[in-house]
Amino acid sequence: MIKKISTSELRIGMFIDDLECEWDKHPFMNKKISVSDSQVIQKIASAGIRYALIDTALGSDVDDIADANSTETAANYAPSVEASIEVDRARALYREATTVIRNMMEDARLGKQVQVNALEPVAERMVQSAMRNHHALTSVTRIKTKDEYTFMHCVSVAGLMTTFAREQGLDDETIHQVALGGLVHDIGKTLVPDKVLNKPGKLEGDEFSVMKRHVDYSGELLAGLGLSQIAIDVTMQHHERMDGTGYPLKLSGEQISHIGQMSAIVDVYDALTSVRVYKSAWEPTQTLKKLIEWSPGHFNRDLVQHFIRCLGIYPMGSLVELESGLLGIVIEASEDMLRPKLRIIYNAKYDRYERPHDIDMVKAKNDRIINAALPAQYKIDLAAFL
Ligand SMILES: [Fe+2]
């Protein structure tokens, strides 16, 4: 019998009849493959392929496998592509996704029907990117421009949510829906008057009430479009808080779904680490500390800690200071969260730029990271180096 399964369910002993992917993405000479060792599963994961058709007459079925040697799943093998390679793809995806979101929000503003189908391929590519290297998407989320913030924030939240969901071992379909939810989560902002949405200062009482309506507007714009409950939860619950002080429904604790609790953390993290018309970007490490400080009142503390493990203590794209006075951008995480790979760009001792060069802190014997650094303090435009 031919059976369609997620590639995360692939096990040694199965026989693949076909893989759901384009020929140019196909990592084998032939699509009919006996899964004889873990490298076969690894190659499929590297190619970002999500579904396989298995022939249960020629190999094992999903339910058959109880062998301890067969517990290696595709999901266990990431990152299967180096961050430096995946970051280029993620950056291109981020740009394309921003255009798709901008068009979608413009349509919504003009009263046209929102085409959520157009977002499916974007969400799918995010899932595949996270499968290949779970750090790449998170590293490009900091590239934002003030005037495009609303669109870019949607894409960033989708990218961070995808990575967060993947790190928690949620299944592929859930991760896809989480990505979709992130992409549409602030669509209602398109109906908020521009003078409130882009006010170059803190919102006053009435203005804040107007801004808060964006969640209800999102609900109205997306109603009847067949979105999953997961995507709806990201959209409708990302401003709810564990202590009931959020909006729009003032839900508290377990009234907020697991996905809703995740989205609240991600939404705040991305907003704070972004440059806005009224504030500079917070540094990621400082922001993570604040998230801990604000939980459990605002956030699920366990989930915040999980999010920190997911991003690393020094998240990709953040600036750090070394004992030697050199400043570097985190370009790749390592098993040791305190020793990521860095691109050195500046020398704080002499107040001058360095010729950019990469250092693996695991191998650096004579230097160590002493702190997260603030790009604004050194007038460094990080986006130019990412
Ligand atoms: Fe929002």
Q: How many Å lie between the centroid of ligand 1 and the Cα of residue 178? A: 15
Instruction: Find, among 180, 167, 11, the residue nearest to 78 by Cα.
Output: 167
335-381 pLDDT per residue, tens = 677 788 899 999 999 999 999 999 999 898 889 998 888 887 888 87
pLDDT over 50 (residue 303): yes
239 or 46: whose pLDDT is higher?
239
Q: To the nearest 10°, the Cα dihedral for 285, 287, 288, 294? A: 150
Q: How many Å lie between the centroid of ligand 1 and the Cα of residue 6? A: 32
pLDDT over 60 (residue 77): no
Contacts of 385 (CB under 8 A, 6+ apart): 329, 343, 345, 356
The rounded radius of gyration (Å) of the Cα atoms in the chain is 22
Q: How many Å lie between the centroid of ligand 1 and the Cα of residue 274? A: 14
* pLDDT number for residue 10: 80
Confidence of residue 79 (pLDDT cuts 50, 70, 90): low
* pLDDT number for residue 48: 72
Q: Helix, strand, or coil here: 102?
A: helix
Q: How many Å lie between the centroid of ligand 1 and the Cα of residue 199? A: 16
Q: How many Å lie between the centroid of ligand 1 and the Cα of residue 289? A: 22
* pLDDT number for residue 67: 41
Confidence of residue 386 (pLDDT cuts 50, 70, 90): low
Q: How many Å lie between the centroid of ligand 1 and the Cα of residue 241? A: 13
Query: Structural domain boundaries of the chain?
Result: 2-77, 83-311, 319-385
As given in the structure block, the two tokens for residue 268 are 């705040």
Q: How many Å lie between the centroid of ligand 1 and the Cα of residue 189? A: 8
Q: How many Å lie between the centroid of ligand 1 and the Cα of residue 283? A: 21
Q: How many Å lie between the centroid of ligand 1 and the Cα of residue 72? A: 39
* pLDDT number for residue 252: 96
- Report the amino acid identity of residue 100: V
Q: How many Å lie between the centroid of ligand 1 and the Cα of residue 332? A: 29
Contacts of 117 (CB under 8 A, 6+ apart): none
As given in the structure block, the two tokens for residue 82 are 């180096």
pLDDT over 90 (residue 293): yes
pLDDT over 60 (residue 78): no
Q: How many Å lie between the centroid of ligand 1 and the Cα of residue 108? A: 16
pLDDT over 60 (residue 72): no
Q: How many Å lie between the centroid of ligand 1 and the Cα of residue 279? A: 17
Q: How many Å lie between the centroid of ligand 1 and the Cα of residue 4? A: 37
109-152 pLDDT per residue, tens = 999 988 888 899 999 999 888 888 777 788 777 666 767 888 99
- Report the amino acid identity of residue 333: A
pTM value?
0.74
* pLDDT number for residue 140: 75
As given in the structure block, the two tokens for residue 307 are 């999010």
The superfamily in CATH containing domain 83-311 is Hypothetical protein af1432 (1.10.3210.10)
Q: How many Å lie between the centroid of ligand 1 and the Cα of residue 196? A: 14
* pLDDT number for residue 38: 64
57 or 188: whose pLDDT is higher?
188
* pLDDT number for residue 66: 41
* pLDDT number for residue 130: 85
pLDDT over 70 (residue 62): yes
Q: How many Å lie between the centroid of ligand 1 and the Cα of residue 309? A: 24
